[in-house]
Amino acid sequence: MTAVTAPPPTVAPIASARDLWLSVAIRTGLIAGATALYLCLTGIVPTFDSRPLIRDVITLGQVALVVAFMAAGLGTAIRLGTQASPGRTVLGGTVAGLIAGAMLSALVLLGSVVDLRAMFLHASPALWNVLTFEMGTSGFWVPAAVGAVLGGLAAAIWLLPGALRMSLLAGLAMVLVMGLFAGLLRAPMLSGPLSGLARQLFAAEGLQPIGALLSFAAGAILVPLFRPSRIRARAQRLSREQRRVTAVPLGGVLLLLVLLLPLGLGPFVAQVVALIALYVLMGLGLNITLGLAGLLDLGFVAFFAVGAYTVGLLTSTGEYGIAQWSFWAAVPVAVVIAMLFGVVLGLPLLGMRGDYLAIATLGFGEIIRILAGSDLLKPWLGGPRGITNIPKPLDVGPDSFLAGPNQIYYIALACAAVIAFVAWRLRASRLGRAWIAIREDEDVAEALGVNLVQTKILAYMLGAAFAGLGGAIFASLYGSVFPSSIQLLVSINVVAIIIVGGMGSIPGVVVGAIVLIGLPELFREFSEYRFLFYGAVLILMMRFRPEGLIPSRIGRQEMHHDAAEDDPLTATAAVEPS
Amino acid sequence: MTPMQTPTTWAERTGLTERLLDIGIAVFLWAFRIIVLFVVVVGSLLTLARGRYSIEVWIDLIVGGLSLGAIYALIALGYTMVYGILRMINFAHGEIFMVGAFAGFFTGVYLAGTGLLTASPLSAVVGIAIMILMAMAVAALVALIAERIAYRPLRNAPRLVLLISAIGVSFFLQYTVRGLFGPGIYAYPSVPFLAEPVDLPLLSILRLKWLDVLVIGSAIGMMLALYLFVMRSRAGTAIRAVSEDKATAALMGIDVNRAIVTTFAIGAAMAGAAGVLYGLMFRQIFFFSGFVPGIKAFTAAVLGGIGNIPGAMVGGFLLGELESVGPTLFLDGLGVPSPNQLKDVIAFTILVLVLIFRPQGIMGERLSRSRA
């Protein structure tokens, strides 16, 4: 027979016997050390080292290493569980941290002998200095020592009684969050009556030590009091009537917040907020194609481009403008043209399913991008130089609070609200149910009388129309369209927003847009690592929460139903010779 | 699901529109075919009639297309094998190719330092072989890690989940390479011997360079070895059995996991080798180099019939030729300015055309509609 071997168990065993503690510690330490090496060599640690979390105390780069070391200790403690004695647990954590740290020490030692920079851009003296507290390569022992201490400490924290442990970790997490957002909180406070307080709490970058202490206290006290699980349990105890009564004011406050959001923000944050609203709009549009009808469209950017270029051509006062219309007159035209493109590009794709559809639409998106930048269409679309001088929708003075990105924010928000309403009403309609039926099983849906051609074309049309609208708003947000703004990344962004937020879920799209578009834009200093973070988020989400952060009811059922389906590998396990 | 609730109205309402839609779609698809046919036939005739290009230019284009096609074919093998066994488009395969190109690059820089690449033709070939082997090993290693972390836990999840995870891997690898080695463009070490023309009596008419011989020869050699491995060896038989039917293969005592892992490793090794050949041919690489060749190679796999190993080879060479000769042949005669800008458009149009009109590809079974 071919290759009859018992497959090794795929899940790491939780150590049961006492003498396993060392191997658990070593394995965890190696994983944490590999992660720490990765963080150092990809440049995350040295880059973030220039950004303090607490002024003169700790930088973000150091925090990344601290987290890696503590994860080694915590991971060991968790894997050992309650079976190991407290002493063993702490010892195991120390060993794991020591190993993780020793791997970095080895890197420093290696770096002092060989010129690693020829290969790794970030393996420079600057990195050695971060790792050794400015001692250079002679301080190579520092990471190992720090790792051992932190690993042991983390394991000891794990041994604390539950409530205390939670307070401690919540406090640390709060310091991290406040430190990350310090800049955002400080800017609006400085202009108001709170400027004195702002200076006390926040440094130019990161927290002041006092602010850090206060954040820690706030996290340690408040988080255990308002645990999400506790709130959810209380909400479930409320009657339906009570819930409705609390929901109305809560929703009102939320709405007011959303409407007033751009007011106190600087122009940069306002632009980011407008971009988030734009992506919410597009996410809701694709949510119809992908979330309801289950058609994975990676060529979303094609329709986005059609909308953007249509508005550009019709409204631009520059070289390539043909009509100098107002934004409001151009948008309906853009939406209709995008919709027509949706039909034209959708027709050939009707028979395709699943990932073939994804690749074919991706091909369409690339074709449109290349054509837009080509010499062939240059006389009309401006080639790589694109279309510029696209006016803003509202002609208001520079002092008006509607100037600049704010008006785009409100327009995008209004459009998003309309799309959300349309999507919500459609979902329960005959068409919406036909879409969901197609998504579940095309053949069965067809047998039940769903007209596949019509239903799919409608899904493409609507998705394309909303993409066109997104493109139109994008064009007036930035005042220009270039072929380089029609990146595949736009399509991927939108798909990722839906996936991370939860397929078919409207609040999910909002959360997805904030997490994937807003956070990376706000933390510009990390922009170099934005897509690294992105890739990691996609992989982790698919592995641990494929239904998304805020799943729709059907989406959740689907993911959990599928996971339980027959599995050929369990069949392997069943026939393996024992 | 209640479209059955009122069957009469549903049928009445959709009867006419349905027929109209069907006619409309048929007209549209025919128009599409006629336009493409028009561009190809009229464009070619006009280009040839104008006679702006000498025969040498055409020979160069054809040879260039063969080399490019060999690279596409090598990458396409990985797509096809993984698709055959898991029914999954490994979106990150292009990145594996790029990682291989980088591994070959650093090996090459080291070897260039020792003078191996420049000393003599023989030593250059040895050096390139070492680069290719290194690239194969690193690419296979990265692919196995990706499979272990991002694909294996999702093997029974809906396929969309797997595709998204693969997109995540693709981003992760691109930006890991960017973080490790920087965003700059790296120039591949030069091997002077490869730029020399082949001075053999019969071949001189083809105006080949040693580079073309190396790329085409090693690609064909590797493909033959792979074909023999899959058709003759035990592990290859296991792979074919698992592609056919996982559950039954498992019942026959085949280690499904091992077959899948082997497939990933072999596909990645081929892509890694292709990465070195690509680097030697185009002389520069950067962290985003894998994306477009990856998509093109997928096109090649679809063109040949996905899941079909000889198909991937045929599809690769065909796509390489179309992309190399196509812009000049089809578009130049029609007066399109700088037709070479549109070579990717040709590749993607072929992809869409194949998916619409012959989803089974040149030599594959019909998967995109039935099993997909």
Nearest CB neighbour to B163, from listed A352, A358, A450: A358
Task: Name every chain A residue with its beta carbon within 8 A of the beta carbon of B160.
Answer: 294, 296, 354
> Which residues have a Cβ under 8 Å from the Cβ of A420 and sit 6 or more positions away?
A284, A506
What's the gap in Å between the CA of A492 and the closest CA on chain B? 9
Number of folded domains that form chain B: 1
* Low-confidence winner among A317-331, A545-559, B289-303 (lowest mean pLDDT): A545-559
What's the gap in Å between the CA of A290 and the closest CA on chain B? 10
Residues β-bridged to residue A54:
A58, A207
Whether this prediction's pTM lies above 0.80 is answered by yes
**A575/B251 Cβ within 8 A:** yes
Q: Does B112 lie at the interface with A, CB-CB under 8 angstroms?
A: no
Residue of A nearest to B352 (CA): A360
Residues β-bridged to residue A202:
A207
Q: What is the CA radius of gyration of chain B?
A: 23
User: Helix A568-575 to helix B256-282 angle, to the nearest 10 degrees?
Assistant: 130
Q: What is the pLDDT of residues A227-273, one digit of tens each?
A: 777 777 777 777 677 777 777 777 778 777 777 776 666 677 777 88
The mean per-residue pLDDT over the stretch A363-385 comes to 79
What's the gap in Å between the CA of B253 and the closest CA on chain A? 6
Residue of B nearest to A1 (CA): B253
Q: What is the DSSP string of B43-112?
A: HHHHHHHHT-S-HHHHHHHHHHHHHHHHHHHHHHHHHHHHHHHHS---TTHHHHHHHHHHHHHHHHHHHH
Q: What is the pLDDT of residues B176-187, one digit of tens each?
A: 998 888 888 888
What residues 184-243 of chain B have any CB closer than 8 A to a CB of chain A?
A: 234-235, 237-238, 241
Q: Which of A367, A490, A562, A567 to mutate to test the interface with B (most CBs of B within 10 A)?
A: A367
**A569/B257 Cβ within 8 A:** yes
Nearest to A90 by CA among A18, A161, A147, A159: A159
Q: What is the pLDDT of residues B188-241, one digit of tens each?
A: 888 887 777 777 777 777 777 888 888 888 888 988 888 888 888 888 888 888
| CB-CB contact of A71 with A55 (8 Å) | no
> In this model, does residue A552 exceed pLDDT 80?
no
> In this model, does residue A421 exceed pLDDT 70?
yes
- The boundaries of the domain holding residue B275 are 62-189+203-357
Query: Please, which pLDDT band fits residue A10 given cuts at 50, 70 and 90?
Result: very low
**B345/A370 Cβ within 8 A:** yes
**A371/B3 Cβ within 8 A:** no
Helix (H, G, I), strand (E, B) or coil at A202: strand
ipTM surpassing 0.90: no
Nearest CB neighbour to A535, from listed B172, B259, B349: B172
Task: Domain ranges for chain A, please list them.
Answer: 18-225, 266-487
Task: Name every chain B residue with its beta carbon within 8 A of the beta carbon of A119.
Answer: 106, 181
For residue B172, being part of any structural domain is answered with yes
> In this model, does residue B51 exceed pLDDT 70?
yes
Distance, in Å, from the CA atom of A209 to the CA atom of A212, rounded to the nearest integer, reads: 5
| CB-CB contact of A456 with A445 (8 Å) | no
Which pLDDT score is estimated for B97?
A: 93
For residue B213, being part of any structural domain is answered with yes
CATH number at residue B225: 1.10.3470
Nearest to B88 by CA among B6, B20, B150: B150
For residue B49, being part of any structural domain is answered with no
Nearest CB neighbour to A568, from listed B154, B179, B247: B247
**A568/B255 Cβ within 8 A:** no
